[in-house]
Amino acid sequence: MRLVIHSVNINKRYKATKILNFLVEIAVCIEKEIADEDVLKSFFEVIVDDYCDKFDDLIHSRREGNGHRERYKKLVELNNKWNGSRETT
C-alpha cells in the first residue's frame, strides 16, 4: 500500500514539474522577446501566480538541491515582475 501512495505522490510531483517547466519556457520566451508579454500575461498571470504559490516548497527545494540555483529562476522572476514584488531570486 505504501508503494501506491508513494507512486501517487511521485506522479503528482511529475505533473506539477511538467507544468512548472512549461511556465519557465513562457518566461524565457518573454525575456527573449519571442512572444508578446501582454498577451501571455492576460492568459497566464493567474496560473503563474497560483503555481508559484502552491508549489513554492517544491520550487525552492529543487533550486537548493544539487546546486541548481538557476532552476525555476526565470519563472520566479516573472511571477515577481507580474506581482510587482521586489523579491530577488
38-52 pLDDT tens trace: 999 999 999 999 999
pTM: 0.81
pLDDT at 4 over 80: no
pLDDT of residue 65: 73
pLDDT at 1 over 80: no
> How confident is the model over 14-23, as pLDDT tens digits?
899 999 999 9
Alpha-carbon distances of 57 from 19, 42, 51, 83, rounded to whole Å: 15, 26, 11, 19
